[in-house]
Structure 1
Amino acid sequence: MIDLSHTENQINCVTNFQDLVTTPFHEEMNAICWKRNLIGDFSEIIKKVEVNGNIATLDQEQLIELQLSEQGQLARKILLNDLNVLKSHGADPTLNVIKNYERDDVFPFFPTDVYSFHVDRSTIPVDTFLCTYYGESSDILPNSQATQKILVPEIRDELKKLYQGSEEGFESFLTEYFFDLHYLAKPKANPINLGVGHLWKLATDYPKSKVLPCIHRAPNEKIGQNRLLLIC
């Protein structure tokens, strides 16, 4: 179940792929969810994929070649369909089996990994699509419940110490190293979990966008339980 009790008009739910890709973002709404109850055994697919590092990418040919049970085949059919409809839409989806993402410890006071609340940026109008088929799922956060980290005085002071350059170049430094993309949840904020099986479209930060970008983060994975994630 998706808890939509604190969305502040942020989320719009649809019932099919066509509405997902054609419904525009507007005003506070910067996340659209195609709610689905998927059938099939997605965990079987994960078990068939060897993950040598932290993440293994599963392409369509590899997916088709997997020897699966009837329930695994049902799951594969859904994955192939999602990949194909997104490609037909012009997106470039990637299917990943994830143990965990790399943690960023370069700047201990300011991690910039995907476990931090952040927004995606693009130079062209484009949306982020994602679906968790198995394992822990991502969170999003209403923009009104977040503060851009670079605006927090204590963090800003630490960033200036790190920068050590002229005042006029500071803002460019923040953008160049993606510090401006990260956010802190305000006290009593209510993150919204995206759930399993639902295909989401999230607004990104790009020039002349009419809505605020959707703030989101990757979940902390459970030890011994890999995630199956489609993202583009």
Structure 2
Amino acid sequence: MATRLSSTGAPDGAPTTTCRSDEVVVIHRLFRRLYADAPRAVRSVPTGDRVRAGHVSKHLHGITALLHVHHRTEDRYFWDTMTDRAPACGIHASLMREQHRAVSDLLDEIDVLVDRWASDADAVSRERVAQSLDEVERLLLVHLADEERDAFPVLDDVLSDAEWDDIHRAAKRHRPPMPIFVLIGFMLETVPPAERDAWFATQMPAPIRLAYRAVGRRQYERAVGRLFPTPPGRLGSAHALA
């Protein structure tokens, strides 16, 4: 159990909690992966190939929507509570909000640029999309590191397990803006190989595990094949599940 840090300014006697932010770090690994790959996926589309551009643009709209949902959930449940219960850390909460706004504005711009590019797959629009995605990745790497270092230890300290459960239930009410098996496949890619089977067994309900093995894995492979016709060597490691 994690005990409250005396420097947080949290009230005495509040309940202890486990390090539940570790569950969010799994999502952060997913976003690091998705946004590292996205510019390369765009630049790999030949000029004029509207079919490939269409596949990639659909994927990009999915990952921008996914990041919007993630940040809105954090904005709703994290920062006011963090400021109220750990006033000394209010500066960190303010920074998280500011970083979210910067990323959100850029994601909105990317959605517009993606639609323009997908219409004719021209080289100029392709590079504008790729450069904007490069900037999102740059901002995201800074933000996620700041959040994990400065915010998550405090949130673990001030949120109870029951409150974490409420947050996860609220997050699950959002329908994923990407095919669920494709999303699971990308998540599995980010889990260290030695931990993958255990993570899959504990984090996915049995019906989802069975469906992924039966049909979902092939759906993920097809999606990756459309994004990267010549996939990098690391792809496919998620398919080693028992």
Higher strand share: 1
TM-score range, shorter chain: under 0.3
Q: TM-score, normalized by length of structure 1?
A: 0.26
Q: TM-score, normalized by length of structure 2?
A: 0.25
Higher helix share: 2
